[in-house]
Amino acid sequence: MTSRPSHEDVVATTDATARSMTPQRVPVNAYTTPGAFVIVAPIPGVVDSDVSVELTRQHVRFWAELRSAGPRDYVLHEWEYGGYERTVDLPPGYGADVEALLTSGQLVVRVLSGDFAGDTTIQLASD
């Protein structure tokens, strides 16, 4: 029987993994509505407080920190919980503000239509 790793082991392994990894490029679906440019992206295994969204004049960027990387001897290891990042170019006419919501492992980012109001970074808040 394998012993369960201590909390300290999980924290140390997560920190080491986060320092050594390149964030995963997240696939997105994007569309426009009358009031917003909307981006939907799958980011499983993270919680609201792990996610940040940055709006600049020409781009919207989101990223999520690595959630947990407990020490494991994987037979097959193709993805991590977190360490996600993506930058998407904005179409003309969007940038007045940015909103984001994480639900059921999907991040929905809404960049509101209108004149660019300045660089903004938001971090999703835990309920």
- CATH code (residue 26): 2.60.40.790
For 53, the domain range is 7-123
Tens digit of each residue's pLDDT (9 = 90 or more) over 71-89: 678 899 777 666 899 999 9
d(CA 111, CA 41): 14
Number of domains in the chain: 1
Judge whether residue 17 has pLDDT over 90. Answer: no
Mapped onto helix, strand or coil, the DSSP state of residue 59 is strand
Per-residue pLDDT, 112? 98
Give domain status of residue 79, yes or no: yes
Give domain status of residue 1, yes or no: no
The mean predicted confidence, pLDDT, of the chain is 86
Per-residue pLDDT, 13? 65
* Paired tokens of 16: 């080491």
Q: What is the pTM of this model?
A: 0.78
Per-residue pLDDT, 77? 78
> What is the C-alpha end-to-end distance of the chain, expressed in Å?
38
Give domain status of residue 2, yes or no: no
Give domain status of residue 17, yes or no: yes
